[in-house]
């Protein structure tokens, strides 16, 4: 039964993409005051472990409440640990925060294309994350670190609201202590004993150590943050075709049938969520597109 979903995606077979499958919550990690991570596993062997690509998402379903797209934040080399990190902001995510070990949640997916990590060998890789945007980038980070020698410099630039909003803090501190990795964190507002950077993440884009002519940037965060980060990247000379960003739109089906996630001529669920910047640059400056 393993890899069933992946196989059927390709063969257009019996797998019905709109049917959710109950998975069991194996672990809940409260990351910050409003973000949390869920580790999910198959329920009684009734469903399967499936492979995924860093940057893909699943549709997660809270029984009787609703279903939403959430990026996978786990390690692609460990598909048996199905990990999602999200912020409790809406009806579904607020209910999700109440989940405990042993509870059930519906899963279908994975959907979307993911980060283009296979083609980045020898390049400097710059991760730029805003807020919860760090979650889908963490999967890519795991993969890059697992093959660290294949890349040039690896830089993570992360901006969040305040020091108490820092996601994956322990992991970030561990990464920051490595000699083969540059990690910079900035907050919009310094509170408490914060001694780090203060200001938007774009200030880091202009200073961080990478070679703009040999860099690929992976960007995920609020649209406005991505727009300004890209402006800075371009100012430093990173080419548009070397910038990738992950977009968000309303989604109902995940397979390009329901129409909700249209972004210009594309469907975020199947043509995205990761786009090469020059494919959609003209859409990012238009309001309400």
Near other proteins by CB under 8 A: residue from 236, 252, 276, 279? 252
Sorted by sequence, the CB contacts under 8 Å of residue 19 that are 6+ apart come out as 108
Question: Does 51 interact with other proteins (rule: CB under 8 A)?
Answer: no
Sequence-separated (6 or more) residues with CB below 8 Å from residue 124: 151, 152, 153, 154, 155, 210, 211, 214, 215, 216
Asked whether position 255 contacts other proteins by CB under 8 A, the answer is yes
Question: Does 29 participate in binding other proteins (rule CB under 8 A)?
Answer: no
Give yes or no for residue 4 binding other proteins (CB under 8 A): no
Provide, for the chain, the percentages of residues in helix, strand and coil under a 3-state DSSP scheme, each rounded to the nearest 5.
30, 30, 45
Candidates 97-105, 115-123, 149-157, 200-208: pick the segment binding other proteins (CB under 8 A).
Answer: 97-105
Q: Is 182 within 8 Å of 191 (Cβ atoms)? A: no
User: Is residue 39 at the binding interface for other proteins, with CB under 8 A as the rule?
Assistant: no
Shortest CA distance to 159 belongs to which of 151, 167, 147? 167
Q: Which stretch binds other proteins (CB under 8 A): 19-27, 144-152, 202-210, 211-219?
A: 19-27
x-marked contacts with other proteins along 113-152 as a string, rule CB under 8 A: ----------------------------------------
Residue 279 makes CB contacts below 8 A (sequence gap 6+) with 266
Structure tokens at 55: 């940057």
Gap between the Cα atoms of 8 and 80, Å rounded: 19
- State yes or no: residue 249 binds other proteins (CB under 8 A): yes
Q: Does 45 bind other proteins (CB under 8 A)?
A: no
Q: Based on the shown chain and the rule CB under 8 A, indicate whether residue 260 belongs to the binding site for other proteins.
A: yes
- Report the site for other proteins in 262-281 (rule: CB under 8 A): 262, 264-267, 270
8-state DSSP, 141: H
Binding-site ranges for other proteins (CB under 8 A): 9-10, 12, 16-22, 24, 43, 63-67, 89-90, 102-104, 106, 248-250, 252-253, 255-260, 262, 264-267, 270, 282, 286-289
């Amino acid at each position: 039964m393993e890899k069933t979903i992946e196989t059927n995606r390709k063969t257009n077979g019996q797998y019905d993409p709109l049917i959710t499958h109950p998975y069991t919550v194996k672990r809940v990690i409260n990351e910050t005051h409003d973000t949390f991570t869920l580790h999910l596993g198959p329920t009684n062997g009734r469903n399967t472990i499936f492979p995924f690509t860093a940057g893909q998402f699943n549709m997660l379903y809270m029984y009787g409440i609703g279903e939403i797209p959430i990026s996978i934040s786990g390690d692609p080399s460990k598909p048996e640990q199905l990990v999602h990190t999200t912020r409790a902001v809406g009806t579904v995510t607020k209910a999700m925060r109440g989940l405990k070990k042993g509870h059930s949640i519906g899963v279908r997916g994975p959907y979307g294309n993911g980060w283009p990590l296979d083609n980045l060998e020898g390049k400097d890789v710059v991760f730029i994350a805003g807020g919860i945007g760090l979650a889908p980038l963490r999967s890519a980070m795991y993969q890059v670190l697992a093959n660290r020698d294949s890349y040039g410099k690896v830089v993570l630039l992360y901006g969040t609201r305040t020091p108490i909003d820092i996601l994956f803090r322990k992991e970030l501190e561990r990464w920051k202590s490595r000699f083969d990795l540059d990690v910079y964190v900035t907050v919009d507002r310094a509170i408490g004993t914060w001694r780090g950077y203060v200001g938007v993440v774009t200030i880091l884009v202009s200073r961080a150590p990478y070679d703009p002519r040999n860099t690929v940037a992976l960007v995920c965060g609020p649209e406005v943050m991505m727009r300004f980060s890209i402006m800075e990247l371009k100012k430093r000379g990173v080419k548009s075709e070397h910038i990738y960003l992950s977009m968000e739109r309303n989604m109902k089906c995940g397979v390009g049938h329901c129409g909700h996630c249209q972004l210009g001529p594309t469907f975020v669920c199947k043509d995205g969520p990761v786009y090469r910047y020059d494919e959609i640059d003209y859409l990012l400056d238009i309001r309400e597109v």
